[in-house]
């Protein structure tokens, strides 16, 4: 069932677990995510990026996710979310399509600009009953940093600014930076747990981590205990999908199948396995 994400994450933070927010790009990813949620009796967030909207068509991919959620996931809480909207126009388009939750990512802007634009977007969205996530700090991508010489402090969320930012903008959830990084960027050797605890003490809004797909059990448990209520997962799912698909096409001594449904079905199963593993790691199993 389609569920308010702010309510879902508030419940997770209070309950001492986290919800996985998994990116989809097509039918197979969407089925994998929602089937895993049903099997694991776990709340889940299915999220869509601007690039995926350009690739699949914004209305097409949104209604694909919405229909699968409604017909196949009626017994588990499912959030639908725009991931990393970079402009007011991108947010406006998503809201007009029907997204019940959006992320505005102004993290590359100066603090004052991020604050001002996030406030405007939040006011626009809240008038339409749409949940808003924003990001403060900088979760880097490949090409943005020199992994050998990273001054992590300049990328991480300032706790006092976070308190001010949430109060000024009225956002519902906050994505933070504590040494995490997108994709295959080398992360900080250890997350800044003290910084996270300080942010959590100052900010009542649920906290979200991007770029933590590959975190191990210890790190995940530590940050959940310190206040993180949501993990974004993308890279690990894509690697599972593509690795499985490539293996089927390149296995020596076997003729590859020309049944695309069969090939994609196995890749879908691989994504489903990743999603289920993450749900167990985040402690959301049985929390539907």
Would you say residue 228 has pLDDT above 50? yes
| Active-site position among 83, 158, 198, 234 | 83
In a domain, 134, yes or no: yes
> With contact defined as beta carbons under 8 Å apart, do 30 and 64 qualify?
yes
In a domain, 30, yes or no: yes
Catalytic residue flag (residue 83): yes
For 104, 140, 144, 230, 271, the CA distances from 108, given in Å and listed in that order, are 11, 10, 11, 21, 31
Burial class (CB in 10 A: 0-12, 13-18, 19+), 14: exposed
DSSP 213-282: TT--HHHHHHHHHTTEEEEEE-HHHHHHHHHHHHHHHH-TTSPPP--HHHHHHHHHHHHHHHHHHHHHHH
Per-residue pLDDT at 179:
78
> With contact defined as beta carbons under 8 Å apart, do 186 and 147 qualify?
yes
In a domain, 288, yes or no: no
Contacts of 202 (CB under 8 A, 6+ apart): 159, 160, 162, 163
Indicate the pTM of the whole model.
0.92
Contacts of 136 (CB under 8 A, 6+ apart): 107, 111, 114, 157, 158, 161, 162, 165, 174, 175, 176, 177
Q: First and final CA of the chain: distance in angstroms? A: 10
Classify residue 231 by its DSSP letter.
E
Residues of the domain holding 48: 5-282
In a domain, 287, yes or no: no
In a domain, 60, yes or no: yes
Instruction: Give the mean model confidence (pLDDT) for residues 156-170.
Output: 96
pLDDT digits (tens, 9 = 90+) for 97-125: 999 999 999 988 899 999 999 999 999 99
Would you say residue 270 has pLDDT above 50? yes
In a domain, 251, yes or no: yes
Per-residue pLDDT at 183:
47
pLDDT digits (tens, 9 = 90+) for 28-80: 999 999 999 999 999 999 999 999 999 999 999 999 999 999 999 999 999 99
In a domain, 143, yes or no: yes
Question: Which CATH number do you get for residue 147?
Answer: 3.20.20.70
Distance CA(248)–CA(242), nearest Å, equals 10
- Max Cα–Cα distance, the chain, nearest Å: 62
- Domain tally for the chain? 1
């Amino acid at each position: 069932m389609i569920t308010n994400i702010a309510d879902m994450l508030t419940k997770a933070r209070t309950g001492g677990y986290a919800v996985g927010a998994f990116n989809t790009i097509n039918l197979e990813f969407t089925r994998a995510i929602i089937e895993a949620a049903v099997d694991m009796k776990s709340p889940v967030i299915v999220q869509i990026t601007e690039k995926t909207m350009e690739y699949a068509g914004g209305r097409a991919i949104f209604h694909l996710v919405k229909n699968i959620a409604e017909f196949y996931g009626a017994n588990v809480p499912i959030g639908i979310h725009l991931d990393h909207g970079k402009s007011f126009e991108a947010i406006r388009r998503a809201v007009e399509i029907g997204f019940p939750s959006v992320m505005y990512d102004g993290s590359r802007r100066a603090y004052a600009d991020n604050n001002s634009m996030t406030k405007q977007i939040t006011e626009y969205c809240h008038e339409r009953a749409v949940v808003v996530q924003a990001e403060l700090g900088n979760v880097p991508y490949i090409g943005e940093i020199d992994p050998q010489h990273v001054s992590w402090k300049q990328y991480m969320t300032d706790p006092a600014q976070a308190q001010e930012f949430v109060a000024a903008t009225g956002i519902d959830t906050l994505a933070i930076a504590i040494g995490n990084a997108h994709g295959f960027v080398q992360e900080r050797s250890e997350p800044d747990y003290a910084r996270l605890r300080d942010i959590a003490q100052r900010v009542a809004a649920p906290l979200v981590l991007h770029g933590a797909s590959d975190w191990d059990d210890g790190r995940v448990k530590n940050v959940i205990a310190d206040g993180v209520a949501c993990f974004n997962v993308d890279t690990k799912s894509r690697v599972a999908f593509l690795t499985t698909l490539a293996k089927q096409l390149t296995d020596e001594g076997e003729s590859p199948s020309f049944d695309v449904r069969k090939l994609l079905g196995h890749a879908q199963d691989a994504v489903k396995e990743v999603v289920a593993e993450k749900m167990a790691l985040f402690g959301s199993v049985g929390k539907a």
